[in-house]
Structure 1
Amino acid sequence: MERLMHYVWQYRLLTPADMVTVDGRRISIIDPGRHNTDAGPDFFNAKIKIGERTWAGDVEMHVRASDWHRHHHDSDPAYDSVVLHVVDCDDAPISRRNGEIIPQMVMRCSPEFHRRYDMLVGRSDIDLPCAPEIPAIHPLHLRDWITALSYERAYAKADRLIAHLERYTGDWEQTLYVTLARALGFSINSEPMERMALSLPLHFLRKHSDSLTAIEALMFGQAGLLPCSPDPDGTARPQPTGDPYIDSLVREYVFLAHKFSLRPVTSPGWKMGRMRPQNLPYRRIALLAAMVAGDFRIVRRLLSAKCPDEAIELMRMPLTGYWSNRFSFGAASERSFETMSRASATVLVINVAIPLMIAYGMRHGDDALTGRAFEWLTTLPPESNSIVSTFSAAGISARDAFTSQALIQLRREYCEKHACLLCRIGHRLLAARAKR
């Protein structure tokens, strides 16, 4: 409730008739102040007029006026600067430590406004309760919000990449290796893929870059996907399977794990059920191993790519040998499969190449590179997933990846987090209701 009160105050959604103190003095907001999300009053440095007198100070809000005493604000010097107490229920007078009575106002919102707020926020993570009213929002407002969301998501990904870069003291290749591993998990297995890569630094793999078997053994072993049993001291012990390829990986991993004092990731959390065979983690790990083997110098190749198609082809490295016709350990198929569909490779470009370009551009002051990254987003096709479909049904169609990324950001960071008050769509719908 207090969050709703903060929202109404911050955006001045009260009608003049409701702006009055409990003792009958008229109130007008000159400046609502700065919203404070830390300790202390809810709004700093507000400027308001109460009766004929103008006040500059802080504003505090509670559902019940008696919460002022329940929270011990009456003995806290941080609240001596409060010039107005806004409440939903006026059940007690309040005062500063010196005994001065603080003006109090009851915030009245229409029952319809409360209903709309509860309807939007209460179900926003389940469905799209605002869908029926989206078509009524002016296209210009929607376009501005889509643009802001797409930039927000792109820079959030770049910031995550830069955080890894700082962790690895400026090693772009190690940073991209972890970023690529996470992206290859395609949301469902992104966390286990990243944990596997974090447990297996790139410089370990480079010591054996001339042996694909060694790299595959290290990755599958650290991922906990090889049949090994731990000895009492924690070291891996082979469990023969009768499959020459798997047994060779196990032997190699046991040797290398002892050499580098490695331990498999604990409870990696791989998800295998109800997914297409090509999305199983075995083949994704095999692709990552193939990209690392030989010479993992992909950063420069991605940064120098002239168009998205070049980057897409870098992500579609062919798999040979054992993995040319398998999706997991076991029997081979009668035919070979492409390593990755163009649609999946496009998603990798969106989640790896474009954040790399933005992060690199930010670090080196290369605005042209950053601009090129966003141009790529406008030329790449949109992702095809349930989020994009949901918004399309509500009237917001995605014609390119720039828009689909915005819709994913909207769903993940606003709808699913019940942040309708921070969403420009929710704000417009609620503000319109508050003023009726």
Structure 2
Amino acid sequence: MTLETIKADIFARNSGEPEFHQAVAEVLDCLGPVLERHPEYFDLDIIRRLCEPERQIIFRVPWIDDSGRVHINRGFRVEFNSALGPYKGGLRFHPSVNLGIVKFLGFEQIFKNSLTGLPLGGGKGGADFDPRGKSEREVMVFCQSFMTELHRHIGEHTDVPAGDIGVGAREIGFLFGQYKRLTNRFEAGVLTGKHTHWGGSQARTEATGYGLVFFVRELLATKGRALDGASVAVSGAGNVAIYAIEKAQQLGAKVVTASDSSGVIYDPDGIKLEALKRIKLERRGRIHEYLDEVPGQAEFREDATSVWDIPVDVALPCATQNEIDAPHAKRLISNGCLCVAEGANMPNTAAAIEIYRETPGMLFGPAKAANSGGVATSALEMQQNASRDSWSFEHTESRLEDIIRQVHQRCRDTAEEFGAPGDYTLGANIAGFSKVVEAMIAQGVV
């Protein structure tokens, strides 16, 4: 039995799921050094066990729109691994959602949660429903129908969903209300990302974007560099992107881009954050509206991937999976980019990541480490719910900074331990893997 034969078997067993294959390969291709040290992992078949979800739930979500028409969507929850704690991971509402996407996200979540050092398992879910263009009532009705089935499978000690693409505070509110109605209890810890008025945590909305920038700060510090004065390209215009822009600007960087599926805004004077928030968070508008809000030198480019053509010091992909391919990665490097850190889940292709790893002096922060701030603060929200407490924004942000500093240190130390100093891809994968596998072995074949 070899790692390659195991990988081939996993791919065959999960055919037609390219994103899941990509996520599995990215982890398994880093495990050679740890498997040499622990050959007993082959005897225990630990790799195949780790790559097989503990539970996969697929269900019908019927709902009626404002005109009285019946719609049928498909809902998913993949409860991947509970060795370290209750399943934890977001819900994504987007037309692209399918089982393979949810499995890739849930698999990544195992290692991301492990790296935080907090007692969380890995899971993910969602539906092929698009909230864009839907009325408030339609979104509410869909969320209620979705939770009518999902509530059977979740709980604060079992599985704790949060938000992801298409699922923000509004959707979490509708989902929680239906859960409360069906279970007849106010179980605050069953969902995270709630409004602060009824059990949510300060800084949770900002956490993934802030955590990403904190991780970048740690990366740059290893080279004696700082964000102050750096130019930054950000893709996306959702919560992660907006709050990554906010924290980067607070630390003295000049962020020059933001994007959505319709295109890219390039503002050489620096993105005007309040205008962007009005467009995307208040009006749920399109990125080109920035030109109306901020007359001046800003320009709109219809090709969303053109964000990676702009010369910058730091690139933060915060939109979606596989948005940066090998040519984009080469262009970033040739334009002088010295650091790429992933705010989205798997936004770089495998070929792009290999280019970063082979480029001397290039800093790369993989998603399972760099965007772990969201789930870390979700865990802090769970702590507050369990103790019926509420922390200040400053206290929560300080805890987040500490967690991200520790995540960075775990990745860095593990890479050095296994003979690959500075390789955060290898460090993150082995550090996350080792902790989960030790727990799995201790708990027996279950």
> Fold match, TM over 0.5?
no
Please state which band the TM-score falls in when normalised by the shorter chain: under 0.3
TM-score normalized by structure 2?
Answer: 0.24
TM-score normalized by structure 1?
Answer: 0.24
**Higher strand residue share:** 2
